Structure 1
Amino acid sequence: MQGQRILLVSAGMGAGHDQCARELARRFAERGAEVRVVDLLALLPLRLGSALRGFYGGMLAHAPWLYSAIYRVFMASDSLRTGSESTGPQRPARSRPLARLGARALAPVVRGFAPTAVVSTFHLACQSVGELRRRGVTGAPSIVVVTEMVAHAMWLGGGADLYCCISESIARRVRTATGADAIGPGPLVDPRFLRDPDARRTALAAGDDDTVLVSTGSWGIGDVFDTVTALAAAPGVRPVALCGRNARLHRRVAAVPGATALGWRDDMPALLAGAAVLVDNAGGSMCMEALAAGVPVVEYRPIAGHGVPVARALVEHGLVTAADDAASLVRAVDALRPPGPRRSAQIERGTALFRADPAGEIVRWLKRRSG
């Protein structure tokens, strides 16, 4: 990638988008590219980015019904439909006014850096890049790294040249819906999470670990307290809740007998290595990291908005087990903790998702395009 200047556009809306951008930047830089990473929300004027972040977090915590409604109107209404026969560019998403504002904020960065390719890891970012391309500010290829199991309307509304998806089945649907190139090399996670086959077999054989991690994302959102309470009452289960930056949740969970509350952590590879099961409610970066580490995942009470369709897609791909109530949650955890065919099958499906290096596949696409 000598001579390539890659601009990575993320957004500090949760942690997963930024983590993806940082890991891509590291891999591109290792290949000799000049890389710059920017947070679109930080570029917006009048502290609008902070306001958007706060509004989103507030909806999840206090008005999930509102976020569900926004998701239906702006995202799910144009989500991919399996078997669609229409092929061609997606119409601009309904969030275009916000994308125009993002484009105005991003334009000086693009003009100053003059990227040879722009890679977006957040859906509003790719729409803003699309606006810049429509205005002629840049002619650089636009690449979107879809960090979710559902490529909804906001991911597809920027008119990108390449979509890098979590699975090949999602990529096929994106190609059908957009007419653009799409690849499905798998999720992008820190390589420290990827265990080699021998390590996975050793972990599988151990089978006596009672630690069940409960993921809440960086926001500490969802029905976490009830989840931890149900698990703590189950014989042989020690729930460890990752409360993110939610201090109030940390205090509540810490008061549950038999449970452990943890705040924001930077040692997730080690924590996952010592876990029997992960209980998740969003299907985001933490779920992908668990799959990479060979830890089976139970999706339980997914968060509002994107959480529900993402959890459904994970189940349809056979990557996770779903639980609908406290009793089925405990049964699912008990079924996946010990070694056995069910645990082995789910782990193997999860690790098989990581079929290629997304950064390497993007580099190959760029070479084909320029060559």
Structure 2
Amino acid sequence: MSKVFIVYASAGAGHQKAAEALFDYLKRESPSLEIRLLDILDYSHPLVKRLYSDGYIFLISKLPWVWYFFYRLSSYLGNHPVISLGNYRNSKAFCGLLRKENPDVVISTHFLTSSIISVFKRRALSPKPRLVAIITDYTLHPFWIGEGVDLYITSCAYVKEQLEKRGIESERIKAYGIPAKDTFYVPAQRNEIAQKHKIAPKEFTVLVITGAIGIGPIEHIVKALAGKAQVLVVCGRNKRLFERVSLMRLPLVKVFPLINYVDELMSVSDVVLTKAGGLTITESLAKSLPMVFFSSIPGLETANERTLKRCGAGFRACGVPEIVSTVLSLKNDPGLYTTAKENIERFRSQSTLKAIADELRRFTR
């Protein structure tokens, strides 16, 4: 029985959700594989784990310009040998697990794992484990590139082209898309789901996804849209935001805490209003929903915005008036809305989970 590790880093929810989606699919569809789901930060020094998780949230919410500075610096340095060696030395426990368990394949949804295993394989003078890097954004950060990566799986053809420009052979790159729960790809009955959640099924509906911590002028956006469209607000872990928006008691506005049925809310929505995280984009594409981006984190997310805007599947809006104007344009201009949906159909990946599973079977023969 072939042994497979699926490894993420619990810094930002998208890496973990992509790993979990693939893990669930493979457990169900590939029972011949022995599969483990791991958080690479559980094998790091506690201080490093806290810096990755809490430090990330602090920077993007309080000091986004500092985050952007580090993003630009890391883009310039790339996967420098000193950085890779530092990551490797900080993850001795994980490397010990690799030696003990000897997995055939490691699938990584975070560049940290790719960096560590590249050094591990070089020092062990071994081709094992085979390393599959799933790039969970719609742009390329140089940290993903490593000599130990056997296969890159990208979100779209654009990221594949970026890798090729950096010298990666085309045969080592597959533009299969980012894994998302297969429930996002299942056609759903709008009326039934609307009835379940007490949502008006015939109203033009805007789904506001605030991210795990609720960044952006959410309350002002909701106030401005109230009465012009039906608004569903997912507040994530931000309990204060949930309480404040709930107390507004605005017409056709429904508020949700952290939930595990975003796919259902997307099934009754017409537009997604969100920051440009890689997994939220993938889920919206799977549901064929045009996106309006706001308050994206400088760096990868703003680069994601540009990719989606370039292909015509997303719109960037700065400030509450422009957000409302863009949403109402999509509501009132059938031609604009239809064109965005058609662009999504051309751009989005389908059968991502199956394609990755088929590739994995070839790796483990």
TM-score class normalised by the smaller sequence: 0.7 to 0.9
Whole-Å separation in 2 of the counterparts to 1:295 and 1:94: 42
Cα displacement string for residues 108-148 of structure 1 (whole angstroms, at most 9, x for unaligned residues): 22123211111100111211221211221852211100111
Counterpart in 2 of 1:241? 233
The corresponding residue for 2:116 is: 128
* Cα distance in 2 between the residues matched to 1:226 and 1:137: 57
Deviation string 1:45-73 (CA, Å, 9 cap, x unpaired) is 23531332101101111111111111111
- 1:183 maps to which of 174, 185, 190: 174
Gaps of 5+ in 2: 194-199
Note the 1:1-371 alignment, pairs <5 A.
Answer: 3-29=1-27, 30-31=29-30, 32-75=32-75, 77=76, 92=80, 95-136=83-124, 139-157=128-146, 159-180=148-169, 181-196=172-187, 208-232=202-226, 235-258=227-250, 259-337=253-331, 340-366=334-360
2:79/2:115 contact within 8 Å kept: no
CA distance in structure 2 between the partners assigned to 1:93 and 1:215 by the alignment = 38
Q: 1:161 to 1:349 in 2, by over 3 A?
A: same
Is the CA contact (8 Å cut-off) linking 2:43 and 2:91 kept in structure 1?
Answer: no
Letter in 2 for 1:167: C
> 2:22 is aligned with what amino acid?
L
Say whether the 8 Å CA contact 1:74–1:94 is kept in structure 2: no
- Percent identical pairs in the alignment equals 24
Provide the residue aligned with 1:86 in structure 2: none
Counterpart position of 1:81: none
SS of the residue corresponding to residue 143 of structure 1 reads strand
Q: Contact between 1:150 and 1:170, CA under 8 Å: does it hold in 2?
A: yes
Instruction: Determine helix, strand or coil for the equivalent of 1:302.
Output: coil
Distance 1:339 1:102 in 2: 54
Contact 1:4 1:33 in 2 (8 A): yes
Native 8 Å contact 1:319 1:349 kept in 2: yes
Q: Which amino acid aligns with 2:230?
A: R
**What is the CA–CA distance in structure 1 between the aligned matches of 2:281 and 2:335, rounded to whole Å?**
21
CA deviation profile, 1:54-100 (whole Å, cap 9, x unmatched): 0110111111111111111113x36xxxxxxxxxxx75366435422
Distance 1:185 1:280, change over 3 A: same
Report the CA distance between 1:356 and its aligned residue.
4.0
TM-score (norm 2): 0.86
CA drift at 1:368? 5.3
Contact 1:102 1:128 in 2 (8 A): no
SS at match of 2:272: strand
Q: Residues 152 and 214 (structure 1 numbering): CA distance in 2 closer, same or farther, change over 3 Å?
A: same
| Structure 1: gaps spanning 5 or more residues | 79-89
The CA distance in 2 between the partners of 1:101 and 1:54, in whole Å, is 21
Q: What is the Cα deviation at residue 261 of structure 1?
A: 3.2
> Helix, strand or coil for the counterpart of 2:338?
helix
CA contact (8 A) 1:150 1:310 kept: yes
TM-score calculated relative to the size of structure 1: 0.84
SS at match of 1:35: strand
Against the structure 1 CA distance between its residues 34 and 98, is the aligned structure 2 distance closer, same or farther, given a 3 Å change threshold? same
In the TM superposition, residue 16 of structure 1 has moved relative to its aligned partner by 1.4
**3-state SS of 1:275 partner:** coil
Q: Distance in 2 between matches of 1:240 and 1:318?
A: 24
Secondary structure, counterpart of 1:343 in structure 2:
helix
Q: 1:273 to 1:106 in 2, by over 3 A?
A: same
Distance 1:207 1:329 in 2: 23
For 2:216 and 2:102, the matched residues in 1 are separated by 41
Query: Secondary structure of the residue that 1:135 maps to in structure 2?
Result: helix
Query: Match of 2:10, as an amino acid?
Result: G
Distance of aligned partners of 1:281 and 1:355 in 2 relative to their CA distance in 1, 3 Å threshold: closer
The 3-state SS of whatever aligns with 1:301 is coil
TM-aligned CA distance change 1:158 to 1:46, over 3 Å: farther
1:213–1:369 Cα change, 3 Å: closer
Maintained 8 Å contact 2:44/2:91? no
Moved more, 339-348 or 267-276: 339-348
Shift of 1:280: 0.9
Cα 1:177–1:199, aligned 2, differ >3 Å: closer, same or farther? farther
> Superposition RMSD on alpha carbons, in Å?
2.8
Q: Which residue in the other structure is 1:87 paired with?
A: none
Equivalent residue pairs, number = 351
When residues 159 and 242 of structure 1 are mapped into structure 2, their CA distance, relative to the original with a 3 A threshold, is same
- Give the aligned residue type for 2:152: Y
Q: Aligned partners of 1:72 and 1:346: how far apart in 2?
A: 31
